[in-house]
Structure 1
Amino acid sequence: MNFTELKDFLDLKADLYNHPDFIENDPIQIPHRFSLKQDIEISGFLTATISWGNRKSILKSAGKILDFMDGSPYDFVKNFKEADLLPLTEKSIHRTFNGEDLSHFIRNLGRIYQQTDTLEDLFLLQEGETDFYHSLERFRTDFLGITSHRSAKHVSSTYKNSSAKRLMMYLRWMVRQDSRQVDFGLWTRLKPAFLSIPLDVHTGNMGRQLKLISRKQNDWKTVAEMDVMLRKMDSADPARYDFALFGMGVNGEF
């Protein structure tokens, strides 16, 4: 396929998969259970954090987190006491993300929401930035705080060349907005034009088969390589092609 044919093909697939039916089996269904902005932010962030492996398992584990927080994430992080976190000791949450990790995440979220009413503040771009490479590292530093903790491994570092797939997925959820109402578009100070594809095994393999990327590793350098192609196709909303690449990959179309 030439460039025009490839763009038309990906436009078609993005329209096919960017549909409310997509929500039912995807981790994004978890924040869709809420209407309060902060509940969406918190449940989305925690769900994105554990989004690796089988999607059914992810949804089950995310539901476990919500149950622990009494179905009210914002109220919980604003008002919890240390004694409330004791039941998480030695508790399994999702694979290597355990109760100790969740406790530390809750503490960090509580600290942040004492300073601001939205997590968007931690992701804002600085002058001259056109992607989230530096923003995600600043978020990581702000979120984790100065105290070292084992949970740090669950927040990817772009400065270590991570693709930061789960954080990029979370940003897509919070920033993109269109008539399909899959993504939320809650964060209006961030431009969809600067989003990148959440690069994982599905989007990476599809990107290589369609010759959008040539690098074999799923790392930040590959994210940047894919950005070049997808921003040529849609400079205002390149991340919408995540629906096309992920949808085709997870459904085994190729």
Structure 2
Amino acid sequence: MILYPAIDLKDGQAVRLVHGDMDQSTVFNDDPAAQARAFVDAGCEWLHLVDLNGAFAGEPVNAAPVEAILAACPVPTQLGGGIRDMATIERWLDRGLTRVILGTVAVENPDLVRQAARAFPNQVAVGLDARNGFVATKGWAHETDVNVTDLAKSFEDAGIAAIIYTDILRDGAMKGPNITATESLARAVDIPVIASGGVSSLADLEALKATGVISGAISGRALYDGAIDLTAALKSLSA
């Protein structure tokens, strides 16, 4: 199981939110590229980036720190937030991203997801962010009546690289991931599922791995706070 250290970008800084609330942000590093290098130096195999401002604006906002991270770090990197058209997808992949994450458009324009997945094999993931099993979009500000599992199943034949499932009510709260819901989703589809939201201890990571069906986990605040030692976690997950 792959551990993806998360760098959430707001106003050019690396921050973490609580429950996706932009008004509840904590700045952990005003140099996101330095933070990314620290994660890479600790041995991480991937980086997970989110343009928080972009998620609300509907277009990239934190391009400069993302590009600085790509220039500084030689590991595969995925990015979500404000990526809602083919031109933006193509531009980011041309700039060195390994994978783009499509969230809002997966609900509002699923044909774009399929088109992008065909055009860029293994480079398009879908981000499914949910409250109580239903997808939220536009930086989690808009709640829909779309069931997470139903939407995931609709992309079974699209050729997407992964689904990133975030339980919004767990995100940034350090209360543990929703293992039951994440495992249920992973068993319902053939697409690799990455867990996000609330991953706050080595025990959480080991429990996700123990399901045997979850392909990865994203953690942010726990790595910044020291609740998870990245080097130790990577060693445990590779065993």
Bin for the TM-score computed over the shorter chain: 0.3 to 0.5
* Higher Cα Rg, which structure: 1
TM-score (norm 2): 0.37
